[in-house]
Structure 1
Amino acid sequence: MAMPTTKTPSPKKPTAKTLREGSTPKRTAILAAARELFLADGFDRTSVDAVAARAEVSKRTVYDYFGDKQTLLQAVVDGVGQSLISTIRRILDDTLTDPTEAADLEDVLVAFSMRIATDMLGSSEYVTLQRLVRAQSHHVPDGGENSMADAPEEALAERFAAFAEAGLLDVPDALLAADQFIALTFNVALNRFGSANAAEDARVRPLIVEGVRTFLRAYQAK
């Protein structure tokens, strides 16, 4: 996701070598260079020498900061994932403010969903995350997940719990409700069209609207 279907790598097991935090500008330059090269040339064909040259740092600096190429890949994926989480939280703050009337729920949930479908699922960051995870997942230790995997659902669950306290929703399990909301909206579009980018595909909005209505039939307080 990623939000609906994207999972990011689990942290690599610690090694005996202690990595340096180093200077922020150098770390940023290394990550930017690695991201560009992993996307353009793939993991296998990208060398640490090439990353160092593009970042204008020494090869030793790359190893001191990241340890090895797998850990560098993981750091790139995690950085993109955290950027997407920030986007999701901004959309939540912009759209899922506390409605005062039950009649407003459909409008705010559709507005939230459409923003996710355009600002997040339609973003270059999301495409980048998908490409990195799908193309490079066999190079990531354990092919696992990290803490961002459930972060969107947890953030949405917090809003649903607040709506329940206000008497607008009946959600005994807010996290389950968030999972089901995503399944009824974005995942339907992803499964049917292979994309949920509402900015490019007019078929996405009707699916989202119907998904929101189905969700409210199950969870809106009576």
Structure 2
Amino acid sequence: MPTTKTLREGSAQKRAAILTAARELFLADGFDRSSVDAVAARAEVSKRTVYDYFGDKRTLLRAVVDSVGDALVTTVRRTLDETLTDRTEAAGLEDALVAFSMRIATEMLGSAEYTTLQRLLRSDSGHLAQQDYNPMADTPDEAIAERFAVFADAGLLDVPDPRLAADQFLALTFGVALDRLGSANAARDTRVRPLVVEGVRTFLRAYRAGRGTGGAA
């Protein structure tokens, strides 16, 4: 079980070095075959420092996964800002949502960070299962929901529950691609784009303001 001891915040530089060392070793050798001693040696810190900062090896794995996930969340937020900001006309909303989705499907789902995350989650150790961490859940959902609420205020969408609308948007776009193709990485599979486009159109048929639907059933 993860440690319950009080952990040190410590030096940001040492913390980053430990996370980098752990990520490299977990990917190269696997979680079970990577020792805390090896992590400490690679990070050039003491074994005691690793334990003081992270408590135990499983908590360190969780921290590595979270650090990679944070980078992915940053990508989502940046892409939202670059593709779905200052939209005031309904005419361009479909193109903007497709542009956002395709940026995510290439720049995020095709990124080295996402590949790293998937490899960590597929570790044969079983210490972290895929369902324990989803980079397209929680914080990204909330960020998308916030943007949909802005669109509702501007009269572009009718979303009584923005978080539900965000969940359904992700299910209709990336969820369909994952279910049918096993991947939503548009950089590797040209079949992703048509599914994403149709998902956006289906979403808008349910949520576009003035359609009289009031949201998805």
Does the TM-score normalized on the shorter chain lie above 0.5?
yes
Q: Distance in 2 between matches of 1:132 and 1:31?
A: 13
Q: Distance in 2 between matches of 1:38 and 1:186?
A: 28
SS across alignment from 2:10:
coil
Paired AA for residue 174 in structure 2 = F
SS across alignment from 2:76:
helix
Task: Please give the per-residue CA displacement for 1:24-49, whole angstroms capped at 9, x wherever unaligned.
Answer: 11111110000011111111100001
Does the aligned pair in 2 maintain the 1:161–1:171 contact within 8 Å?
yes
Residues 136 and 63 of structure 1, relative CA distance in 2, 3 Å threshold: farther
SS across alignment from 1:135:
coil
Paired AA for residue 116 in structure 1 = I
Paired AA for residue 177 in structure 2 = A
Paired residue for 1:90?
78
Paired residue for 2:55?
67
Paired residue for 1:6?
none
Task: Please give the per-residue CA displacement for 1:178-206, whole angstroms capped at 9, x wherever unaligned.
Answer: 11111111111111111111122111111
Aligned pair 1:216/2:193, yes or no? no
Q: Distance in 1 between matches of 2:48 and 2:112?
A: 31
Does the aligned pair in 2 maintain the 1:98–1:163 contact within 8 Å?
no
> Aligned-residue CA RMSD in angstroms?
2.1
Paired residue for 1:40?
28
Does the aligned pair in 1 maintain the 2:69–2:135 contact within 8 Å?
no
Q: Between the two proteins, what is the percent identity of the paired residues?
A: 76
Q: Which contiguous aligned blocks of 4+ residues in structure 1 show a shift greater than 6 angstroms?
A: none
Q: Distance in 1 between matches of 2:122 and 2:135?
A: 18
Gap regions ≥5 residues in structure 2 = 211-217
Gap regions ≥5 residues in structure 1 = 1-11
Residues 115 and 182 of structure 1, relative CA distance in 2, 3 Å threshold: same
Q: Distance in 2 between matches of 1:134 and 1:90?
A: 27
Paired residue for 1:109?
97
SS across alignment from 1:138:
coil
Q: Where does 1:123-202 land on structure 2 (aligned, <5 Å)?
A: 123-135=111-123, 138-140=126-128, 144=132, 149-202=137-190
Measure how far apart 1:58 and its partner are. Answer: 1.3
Paired AA for residue 158 in structure 2 = D
TM-score, length of structure 2 as denominator length: 0.89
Q: Distance in 2 between matches of 1:65 and 1:38?
A: 18
Does the aligned pair in 2 maintain the 1:81–1:148 contact within 8 Å?
no
Q: Distance in 2 between matches of 1:57 and 1:85?
A: 29
Paired AA for residue 60 in structure 1 = R
Task: Please give the per-residue CA displacement for 1:3-29, whole angstroms capped at 9, x wherever unaligned.
Answer: xxxxxxxxx7662x3222221111111
Does the aligned pair in 1 maintain the 2:3–2:55 contact within 8 Å?
no
Q: Distance in 1 between matches of 2:195 and 2:164?
A: 20
TM-score, length of structure 1 as denominator length: 0.88
| Worse overlay, 52-61 or 106-115 | 52-61
